A = this chain, B = another copy of it.
Amino acid sequence: MTFELTILGATSATPIVDKHPTAQVVNYNDQLYLIDCGEGTQVQLLRYDLRFNRINHIFISHLHGDHYLGLMGLLSSMHLQKRTNPIHLYAPKGLDEILLAHFRYSHSVLHYPLFFHSFDDEESVLLMENEDITVHTIPMHHGITCCGFLFREKPKKLNINKEKLPPNLPIPLILALKEGEDIFFEGKYIHNQELTLSPKPLRAYAYCSDTKYTERMIHLLKEVDLLYHEATFTEDLANKIDEGTYHSTAKQAAKIAKKSNAKKLIIGHFSVRYGDLNILLAEAKEVFFHTVLAIEGQTYPISDE
């Protein structure tokens, strides 16, 4: 099953030519989950051939413009494309009011149902669940309501070890084995593990949006395969962070990765002051070696391999 992350934008709020504010796409088995939607996201989706009609769920971490100002354009374009499948939108309260004003004054009546699911950042909640994954909020600390998102793969049916399978085993018992049950066959009790292959480890991706350094969410991030964490500044600007920007340094992002025992860290939301991002990467790697930069257009596997 494909489980991967594509970065569409990874700069912070100040605009810059040929770079984009935050937006990324989780692909699970060709279903696309859009996370944040800064200005220009719809064109970035086109640029990297990620088709709008494969997106059914959109997650907006918070209502600073660089994380959602591309949403109205994208929703309007889906309307122009005559989409009929529903969109589920998960965001802090208020975005519904902004969208309604936009649609009212542009006289737009969407061709498709738009379901709005609001959340706050008091505690982690389950936002959505389907047969593949669950998505929970990860409360941040950013001055306004702000959450990251935790994507966890759900257990799959077990694969049968065909080499060991008795040739005359009835189908209902095979299905029971795939569900993880032990069986009783021809007078013998057979443990499930004897006839099935070990399940693959369940994979997880955690997106930590804009936030001041906080350990409040670490228990949610334990052992994730891939952790995205914002890393706006280098350490020499840490005092700026204390002055109320509610952002993190690269080193702080790495500390979170280390403390949560993540397998891999990807840093983003870079201040435009850094022409060369390797200074941020180096600072993070000092604390957590398995760190990479979020690069626009690049796709990262979500797995331990």
Contact = CB atoms under 8 A, between A and B. Distances in A.
A105 B101 contact: no
Interface in A150-209: none
A98 B100 CA distance: 9
A95 B104 CA distance: 11
Nearest to A14: B80
Given A40-B40, A107-B143, A77 B47 contact: no
A46 B17 contact: yes
Contacts of A46: 15-17
A8 to B, nearest CB: 13
A42 interface: yes
A98 B16 CA distance: 25
Nearest to A144: B107
Q: How many copies of the polypeptide does the oligomer hold?
A: 2
Contacts of A69: 39, 69, 72-73
Nearest to A39: B73
A59 to B, nearest CB: 17
Interface residues of A, number: 35
Most chain B CB atoms below 10 A, which of A72, A73, A80: A73
Contact of A43 (B40, B65, B102): B40
A282 interface: no
A97 B104 CA distance: 11
A64 interface: yes
B105 A15 contact: no
Contacts of A17: 43, 46-47
A94 B98 contact: no
Contacts of A76: 13, 65
Contacts of A268: none
B15 A102 contact: no
A14 B77 contact: yes
A77 B15 contact: yes
Nearest to A77: B15
A245 to B, nearest CB: 11
Nearest to A64: B106
Interface of A: 13-17, 39-40, 42-43, 46-47, 63-66, 69-70, 72-73, 76-77, 80, 92, 94-95, 97-98, 101-102, 104-107, 143-144
